[in-house]
Amino acid sequence: MSFVVANVASASLCLICVYILTWRFRRLRLSLPPGPRPLPFIGNLLDLPRKHEWKTFTRWGGIYGDVVYLTIFGTSMLVVSSVEPAVDLMDKRSAIYSDRPRFPLVDLIGQDWNLGFMNYGKPWQKQKQAMMSKFSKTAITAYRPAQHRALRILLKNLLDNPDNFTEHLRLYSGQLIIDVTYGIPISSRDHELIKTAEAVMHSISVALSPVFSVFNLTHLLQVLPHWLGGGRFSNLVQKWQSDARALHEIPFDMVKASMDSGTARPSYASSLLENLKPQDSSDEESVVRDTSAVAYGAGADTSLAAVSVFFLVMLQNPRVQKMAQDELDRIIGSSRLPDHGDQPELPYITAVMKETLRWHAATPLGIAHMLTTDDEYRGWHLPAGSLIVPNVWGMLRDPKTYDSPAEFRPERFLRNGKLDCPVDKDPARILFGFGRRVCVGRHFVQDAMFLLIAQVLSVFTISTIDGGSPSKVDMTSGGVSMPMLYKCLIRPRSEIAKRVLEDDILSADDV
């Protein structure tokens, strides 16, 4: 009997050895994906562009293919510029592609609580579930009154002082997300909560920029004192840490105080706090505080980027603007403003919304995923620990998916006058991320964008100041990208449209 057991054990050991040797041999035979030739030690550090990285990555995609391999100080990076590998890896293999790399500089500036940068695990899952419960497709209807409040103020400001439209858009974006998240009314662009959110998003954008990749892809911050960059750098880090604490704590404490006094307005934070039970631990409250800060910080900047792009593309595409207004006149008429309930009858407006999100992504590069174990794809070896960077801008400008991608053409989402946007063509499928890291705010963003586009075009015409052709407008670089400053003429379409807006303002008690 012992002889049989010994033989079985020996045979099993041999099979295991053969399997390991075969696996190692296969791995050695597999090549890495193509990419720019790296230099010794620093790898492709000098190849990284200092701005508009997504354009360089897209150009590389045309040279090397839709999966480009880079190495920075020994860290492997895969830039994915088409939908197929993005879905294959981050969706279909999400079990091993859902982690995040460590971003030491992001941690240094006080963002270690941020869901967007947390490692995949139970704390992350708990936060994600909390946000999904309040930002699902059905749950977001609770935030429509906040959308109307912010939009009504925007329309009034555009009517009263159209030349200052950029500041009005900033106020709208800040008002909307702070109202939705905390139920706190904001009346001024200079409100501290708006300024704090903008400061925090700027600090994150800087921390994730290629200029600082040496700190995020190495352990230098662990071995170098923070003051090494000089007093200016140290002071800047301290300010960013202070901003992060303010964003994280101040509005949340305001909500709790208003709930105690019975004056709280409905909001994401208050609804979750109301659901807490006396026996719940402080960790449960921390989940509400952390996720509220995530929505507040990220939402204002991305919302501003999207609405700024909308005004720009209307300025540059008067034909599209006219067709959208013709649909509004035909379906809504001139006696009222459009509402969410009109969306099924407004396919062209919906197509304009989708094309706005596609034409220039507010977040041109998704936050990197991290591969947790060795993998194989298309005959390539993908090393564990590799960073997977979704080139969202490149995917949304892929001519294999979108004909003439540089053109702003809502008709690409229509067929025979009806909305025709299958999942594989829907920009939201790409813009809001992949796999388990998909953005929980995707339904809210599209809901708010539809209402803004419909009501703005119902009331106003957007055109060049001198009636000539619009000049080219560059986009900002960074984690969130939007048009640089530009001028346009915003005026009521007619006296009737102006009167409808004024009547709507008079009938409201929140302007």
- What is d(CA 362, CA 201) in angstroms, rounded to the nearest whole number? 13
Residue 17: pLDDT over 50: no
What separation in angstroms does the CA of 302 have from each of 148, 324, 377, 433? 19, 24, 33, 14
Residue 322: pLDDT over 80: yes
Question: How would residue 24 be classed by pLDDT, with cut points 50, 70 and 90?
Answer: very low
- Rama region for 251: left / alpha / beta (φ>0; ψ in -120 to 50; rest): alpha
Token match 């959308």: residue?
147
Q: Which residue has the higher pLDDT, 15 or 340?
A: 340
Bridge partners (DSSP) of residue 78 are 69, 388
**Domain containing 345: what range?**
28-507
Q: Would 15 be classed as within a structural domain?
A: no
Question: How would residue 488 be classed by pLDDT, with cut points 50, 70 and 90?
Answer: very high
Q: Would 23 be classed as within a structural domain?
A: no
What is the number of domains present in the chain?
Answer: 1
Provide the pLDDT for residue 387: 96
Alpha-helical runs (H) found in 262-375: 268-275, 282-316, 318-331, 347-359
pLDDT in tens, 116-174: 999 999 999 999 999 999 999 999 999 999 999 999 999 999 999 999 999 999 999 99
Question: How would residue 105 be classed by pLDDT, with cut points 50, 70 and 90?
Answer: confident
Q: Residue type at 250?
A: I
Neighbour-count burial for 203-227, b at 16+ CB within 10 Å, e otherwise: bbbbbbbbebbebbbeeebeeeeee
What separation in angstroms does the CA of 155 have from each of 85, 86, 390, 410, 489? 42, 39, 36, 24, 14
Provide the pLDDT for residue 221: 62
Q: Would 7 be classed as within a structural domain?
A: no
- What is d(CA 184, CA 201) in angstroms, rounded to the nearest whole number? 20
Q: What share of the chain is helix, strand, coil (3-state, %, to 5)?
A: 60, 10, 30
Contact 313, 319 (CB under 8 A): no
Residue 5: pLDDT over 50: no
Average confidence score pLDDT of the chain: 90
pLDDT in tens, 430-444: 999 999 999 999 999
Contact 69, 78 (CB under 8 A): yes
> What average pLDDT does range 322-331 have in this prediction?
98
Burial status of residue 138 (CB atoms within 10 A of its CB: 0-12, 13-18, 19 or more): exposed
Q: Would 143 be classed as within a structural domain?
A: yes
- What is d(CA 224, CA 229) in angstroms, rounded to the nearest whole number? 9
Q: Would 2 be classed as within a structural domain?
A: no
> DSSP secondary structure string, 184-222?
-----TT-HHHHHHHHHHHHHHHHTSGGGHHHHSSSHHH
pLDDT in tens, 42-100: 999 999 998 999 999 999 999 999 999 999 999 999 999 999 999 999 999 999 999 99
Residue 2: pLDDT over 60: no
SS3 369: strand
Which phi and psi (to 5°) does residue 375 adopt?
-140, 165
Which phi and psi (to 5°) does residue 145 adopt?
-60, -40
Residue 227: pLDDT over 50: yes
Residue 11: pLDDT over 70: no
Provide the pLDDT for residue 208: 81
Alpha-helical runs (H) found in 387-460: 392-396, 427-431, 442-459
- What is d(CA 56, CA 496) in angstroms, rounded to the nearest whole number? 48
Question: How would residue 216 be classed by pLDDT, with cut points 50, 70 and 90?
Answer: confident
Question: How would residue 222 be classed by pLDDT, with cut points 50, 70 and 90?
Answer: low
pTM for this predicted structure:
0.91
Q: Would 20 be classed as within a structural domain?
A: no
Provide the pLDDT for residue 311: 98
CATH code, domain with 301: 1.10.630.10
Q: Would 12 be classed as within a structural domain?
A: no
Q: Would 360 be classed as within a structural domain?
A: yes
As a whole number of Å, the end-to-end CA separation of the chain is 89
pLDDT in tens, 391-426: 999 999 999 999 999 999 999 999 999 999 999 999
Is 439 annotated for ligand binding?
Answer: yes
Alpha-helical runs (H) found in 67-191: 83-86, 94-97, 104-108, 122-134, 144-160, 165-182
Question: How would residue 230 be classed by pLDDT, with cut points 50, 70 and 90?
Answer: low
Structure tokens at 18: 């053969």
> What average pLDDT does range 99-124 have in this prediction?
91
Q: Which residue has the higher pLDDT, 279 or 274?
A: 274
Residue 66 neighbours by CB under 8 Å, 6+ apart: 80, 81, 82, 84, 85
